[in-house]
Amino acid sequence: MKEILKERFLRYIKIDTQSDENCENTPSTEKQFNLARMLKKELEDLGLSDVSLDDKCYLMATLPANTTKKVPVIGFIAHMDTSPDMPGAVETPLIIPNYTGGDIVLNKEKDIKLSQKDFPELSDYIGQTIIATDGTTLLGADDKAGIAEIITAVEYLLKNPHIEHGTIKIGFTPDEEIGRGVDHFDVAKFAADFAYTLDGGGIGELEYENFNAAGAKLFIQGRNIHPGYAKNKMLNAMHVAMEFNALLPPHERPEHTANYEGFYHLVKMDGTVENAMLQYIIRDHDKSIFEHRKQVFTDTVAFLQKKYGADVLRLELKDQYFNMKEQVMPVFHMVETARKAMEALGITPHVIPIRGGTDGARLSFMGLPCPNIFAGGHNFHGKYEYVPLESMEKAAQVILKIVEMYVK
């Protein structure tokens, strides 16, 4: 299974599927169709039923049940796009069989390395096969590892028809990395009782809690006057922007928080004397604290509007997704089954809150409860991303074990 997974994964990561938050189309980049069409043909060639790719780049397929037992219809979902943060077409992946420990040189010419000091979890994978990049792109394990794992698990069931299974649904989505991965996901068409996303990190991760999330953009209108004549006339939009940011609690930033602690995160800023813009994401697991965080934003804007004028600051504040926990708890057997599947395979489950979100968070509120299982990768969205091949193999085996346990 490992060699099949490796071959699939290396094929997929060659295809550039970056999404683009500045484009309102779905998919946000046409190049996501390049992978989608390849996967569609692959699923058809395997012999799956109801293979469909719509004009929004949502790919679905069905593996019909081969048992007469009454078992739930289970879905497995992954996303095809990669983060806009870094180039995503991996032409020269680095493959280290039988990793012996220590630093991994990704790019000697650019002096880029995976340092065991900076990334101590590398020591967990001594003796395994590490797949990384040459330091010029991200790897795309988020979430092409998940895609490879799902297809490989389904192929295994097709090649071993003696293994009983219920109906299995497969869904691959675009634009997850820009928060729009399920904007057009047809839950009724997918027709699963529940699903799992294969979009987690290191081996053993199992997640059914995630952040409540909002995005904020603050637009500031300054007044630019020649600096020689600016006294009592100029209003520097950049200074107002810095003042706003300074009024937010500095200890409530991502670099100072962990576990269930939420944050305010400045992700982008542009500015001149005349105009400035600040873009934030706001996150918290607790719904009441999340609402308080949004109120802090509106109150701080109101304070500065009183100081500088109502027309100087304009806030756009929008909810993005919510904590899936409340939707998963009524069907918590999904989480327990996944946990037991991992334990049966000798994997220690790490049930942790997601300090982010997945397609599953929004799908859960669309009527498809959808916790998240590890896909095996580390250091997503940047040049230090890597995945142990053995973790991918274990993820595929977890899929098979979940399917098996629901039949039994």
Tell me: the pLDDT tens digits for 27-37?
Answer: 999 999 999 99
Share of the chain above pLDDT 90, in %: 95
Mean pLDDT for all residues in the chain:
96
Average pLDDT over residues 127-132: 98
Encode 290-310: b = buried (16+ Cβ within 10 Å), e = exposed: beebbeebeebbeebeeebee
Query: Which structure tokens are listed for 131?
Result: 């797949």
Query: Quick one: average pLDDT of 87-95?
Result: 93
**195: pLDDT strictly greater than 90:** yes
Confidence band, pLDDT 50/70/90 cuts, at residue 179: confident
pLDDT of residue 352: 87
Phi, psi of 371 (to 5 degrees): -70, 175
Q: Which two tokens stand for residue 59?
A: 């790919």
pLDDT at 83: 95
Whether residue 85 has a cis bond before it, omega within 30° of 0: no
Task: Give tens-digit pLDDT for 276-294.
Answer: 999 999 999 999 999 999 9
Domains of the chain, CATH where assigned = 2-210+323-407 (3.40.630.10), 213-321 (3.30.70.360)
Mean pLDDT of 132-156: 97
Indicate which residue of 16, 42, 175, 176 is catalytic: 176
- pLDDT in the model for residue 320: 87
Over residues 375-389, the pLDDT tens digits come to 999 999 999 999 999
Is 176 catalytic? The answer is yes
Contact 360, 370 (CB under 8 A): yes
Helices 32-46 and 2-13, axial angle in degrees (round to 10): 150
Active site residue 186: no
Choose, from 16, 42, 81, 209, the residue flagged as catalytic: 81
Inform me whether the pLDDT recorded for 38 exceeds 80: yes
Sheet of 168-173, strands arranged across: 49-53, 59-63, 168-173, 74-79, 194-200, 372-374, 205-207, 350-351
Helices (H) and strands (E) in the chain, counts: 10, 17
Cβ within 8 Å of residue 246, ≥6 positions away: none
pLDDT band at 45 (very low <50, low <70, confident <90, very high): very high
Cα(58)–Cα(64) distance, rounded to whole angstroms? 20
Give the mean model confidence (pLDDT) for residues 137-158.
97
Residue 390 scores a pLDDT above 90: yes
Q: Please give the average per-residue pLDDT across 159-167, as a whole number.
A: 96
User: Measuring CA to CA, which residue among 47, 89, 144, 164 is closest to residue 387?
Assistant: 144
pLDDT of residue 256: 97
User: According to the model, what pLDDT value does residue 94 have?
Assistant: 96
Statement: residue 323 has pLDDT above 90:
yes
| pLDDT at residue 357, rounded to an integer | 75
